[in-house]
Amino acid sequence: MALRNKDQHRLDADAVTVVSRHYGDISEVPWDVQKYYEQRYSLFSKYDDGIWMTDDGWFGVTPEPIANSASSGTFSPERNVLIDCFAGVGGNTIAFARTHRWLRIHAIEADPTTLECAKHNAQIYGVSERISWYQGDCFEILKDAFPEQMDDCVIFASPPWGGPGYRFESVFDLSAMQPYHLSQLMACFQSVTDNIVIYLPRTSDIRQLAAIARFSSKVVVTHYCIEGASKAICAFFAK
């Protein structure tokens, strides 16, 4: 991808693809991102303070009101460590940090440039000091940094859904989600904890969530809307 203009902050380590930046005017914004740019204050209320995004980040970031609602869900009091496995540009990580409810928040992001955005955005919200950042594959990092069951932990995951095309499925098949399907995610997370929250497409097949819960725990599913428009669901798994 060619560099867009002087506002570009940096390239990733291999100087190949990902550019992070703050768009100040819609005329600078690629056409496929413009819809999300129009919603920028719903994604980050402090957008004008200089929020950094990658172009891919616009598609996947959790709108701030939803992130705030999901992060203030009911979690057992003994759970005081939160691991965000797909931190992206930081929407959910920041919301969890703003609750002041967690002793420590661990945020994992595979892409170095996206991680820089998350760190920068956390500074804007004044919550950086509560977050430990990890760059790399969350499956590897969970195995290396959290190799045992943790009684005090909740895992949150807002994984990739295979791109915006998810919305053309009338019922979204979680066993075909790309690049990681639901069972694969759950198997990895359950090696650390039974308390797992996953952010998923609004059309997700609820029967597949129920089937997973039957073998491990109970599941509560919350449906999030903004101004009447359905956006996504969260599945809260707990023992």
Min. distance of Cβ 86 from ligand MGP in angstroms? Answer: 7
Q: How many CB atoms lie within 10 A of CB 200?
A: 24
Min. distance of Cβ 69 from ligand MGP in angstroms? Answer: 12
Closest CB to ligand MGP among residues 7, 109: 109
Closest CB to ligand MGP among residues 147, 164: 164
Binding footprint of ligand MGP on the chain (CB under 6 A): 59-60, 62-63, 158-161, 163-164, 166-167, 199, 229, 231-232
Closest CB to ligand MGP among residues 25, 227: 227
Q: State the burial class of residue 215 (Cβ atoms within 10 Å of its Cβ: 0-12, 13-18, 19+).
A: exposed
Q: How many CB atoms lie within 10 A of CB 8?
A: 11
Closest CB to ligand MGP among residues 35, 214: 35
**Beta-ladder partners of 83:** 106, 155
Min. distance of Cβ 74 from ligand MGP in angstroms? Answer: 22
Closest CB to ligand MGP among residues 24, 164: 164
Q: How far apart are CA 58 and CA 36, in angstroms?
A: 6
Q: State the burial class of residue 136 (Cβ atoms within 10 Å of its Cβ: 0-12, 13-18, 19+).
A: middle
Min. distance of Cβ 129 from ligand MGP in angstroms? Answer: 26
Min. distance of Cβ 58 from ligand MGP in angstroms? Answer: 9
Give the DSSP per-residue string, 67-132: HHHHHTS---TT--EEEES--TTSHHHHHHHHTT--SEEEEEES-HHHHHHHHHHHHHTT-GGGEE
